[in-house]
Amino acid sequence: MDYEKIGTFILNLRKEKNMTQQELADKLHVTDKAVSKWETGRGIPDIQTLKDLGKEFCVTEKELLNGERDFKKKETDPNHHSIVLDVHNLSKSFGKRKILSNVNLKIYEGDIVGLIGPNGAGKTTLIKTILSLYKADTGTIKICNYLIDNELENALSKVGSIVENPDLYQNISGWKNLQIVCLTNHIKDTSIINSVVKLVGLEDRIKDNVKSYSLGMKQRLGLAAALIRKPKILILDEPTNGLDPYGIKDLRKILKYLSEKENMSILISSHILAEVENICDRIIIIKEGKLLSNFGIEEIKNKHISLEDEFLRRTKNVEENLYNENN
């Protein structure tokens, strides 16, 4: 076992999360000296601490002991470890009306998943329930293995999201908004602000008051705010609303970059099916609160049909196509 390699891996994972040695030590209930010892290749964590470390950084124990991420694991080990979001038998009602019925879905590390369905199908309700803005009637939701019922804070620390309009202070600059996000998330190294602003292409206007922004600029700032915490999963409800064709193209580039280079998972709900087809690896169709289909994008590419045609075909007759991932 290469202690030095394991140590460097732990060090890099900690830096990715902008954590100090002390912060990591506190989370794992060990001393900062122990963290320092691992990171300098003078020891490795015990089994329980390895498990906790794995949960904290969304990596497997095997990856920790190998000292590197296993990017091939999605193909080789689809059932374990790399699941970032796991929704199991989720149901939700408003009063007597059932809005979501036994929804099951899993999202893997680095996947870009499109959530599509007719108006009123339950997409926003599903997203809000995942984010714990609504309480589920039954079922479980795990984010990076944290059950939201028991470990809400840890679970939500792995998520960045924009649902409806981004949450922004209008009377201060975009820059100040991002500083506040850093402050409220205890992020001390604010150099991350520069990189997210550059990523979303808002450098020229970031010092202006948010109230002077166009809708698309606000969306970009909202995305920057969602990315500051370096989430493992980004959840976006109709993010192309208000974006011009340049904005849509930029968003596509950003999401691909985050998925490929940062291994971030993305769940994106949208009615612009051509765009969903362009960006996503996997498609989930929901209708009347039930998961109708869950398929890889290559399935329609191989058949040379558009997502729009497939969507219309699959949503036409719910009974025929009813699909439930009972696992």
Ligand X SMILES: Nc1ncnc2c1ncn2[C@@H]1O[C@H](COP(=O)(O)OP(=O)(O)OP(=O)(O)O)[C@@H](O)[C@H]1O
Which residues here bind ligand X, judged by CB under 6 A? 94, 99, 117, 119-125
Min CB(128)–Mg ion separation in Å: 9
From the CB of residue 241, how many other CB atoms can be counted at a distance below 10 Å?
Answer: 15
From the CB of residue 15, how many other CB atoms can be counted at a distance below 10 Å?
Answer: 11
- Is residue 240 within the footprint of Mg ion (CB under 5 A)? no
Binding mask 107-136 for Mg ion (x = CB under 5 A): ----------------xx------------
Min CB(327)–ligand X separation in Å: 24
**Owner of token pair 């991002």:** 178
Min CB(124)–Mg ion separation in Å: 3
Give me 15's structure tokens.
């830096």
The C-alpha atoms of residue 8 and residue 15 are separated, in whole angstroms, by 10
Q: Which of residues 127-186 bind Mg ion (CB under 5 A)?
A: none
Residue 233 per-residue DSSP state = E
- Which CB, 164 or 309, lies closer to Mg ion? 164
Q: State phi, psi for 97 to the nearest 5 degrees.
A: -85, 125
The C-alpha atoms of residue 182 and residue 161 are separated, in whole angstroms, by 15
Min CB(119)–ligand X separation in Å: 4
- Which CB, 11 or 85, lies closer to ligand X? 85
- Which CB, 78 or 120, lies closer to ligand X? 120
The C-alpha atoms of residue 115 and residue 271 are separated, in whole angstroms, by 9
**Owner of token pair 């809000």:** 128
Binding-site partner at residue 240 among ligand X, Mg ion, none, CB < 5 to 8 Å by type: none
Handedness of CA 130, 135, 141, 143 (dihedral sign): positive
- Which CB, 259 or 269, lies closer to Mg ion? 269
Min CB(264)–ligand X separation in Å: 23
**Start-to-end C-alpha separation, the chain:** 35
Min CB(237)–ligand X separation in Å: 7
Min CB(244)–ligand X separation in Å: 21
- Which CB, 123 or 314, lies closer to Mg ion? 123
The C-alpha atoms of residue 46 and residue 64 are separated, in whole angstroms, by 12
The C-alpha atoms of residue 175 and residue 208 are separated, in whole angstroms, by 8
- Which CB, 49 or 241, lies closer to ligand X? 241
When computed from its CA atoms, the radius of gyration of the chain, rounded to whole angstroms, is 20
- Which CB, 6 or 105, lies closer to ligand X? 105
**Owner of token pair 């209930």:** 29
- Which CB, 124 or 240, lies closer to Mg ion? 124
Handedness of CA 164, 168, 173, 174 (dihedral sign): negative
Binding-site partner at residue 120 among ligand X, Mg ion, none, CB < 5 to 8 Å by type: ligand X
Number of residues counted as binding Mg ion (CB under 5 A): 2
Asked if 101 and 143 count as a contact pair (C-beta separation under 8 A), the reply is no
Among the listed residues 247, 190, 253, 258, the one whose alpha carbon sits nearest the alpha carbon of residue 220: 247
Binding-site partner at residue 171 among Mg ion, ligand X, none, CB < 5 to 8 Å by type: none
Min CB(99)–ligand X separation in Å: 4
Binding-site partner at residue 297 among Mg ion, ligand X, none, CB < 5 to 8 Å by type: none
The C-alpha atoms of residue 47 and residue 248 are separated, in whole angstroms, by 45
Binding site for Mg ion (CB under 5 A): 123-124
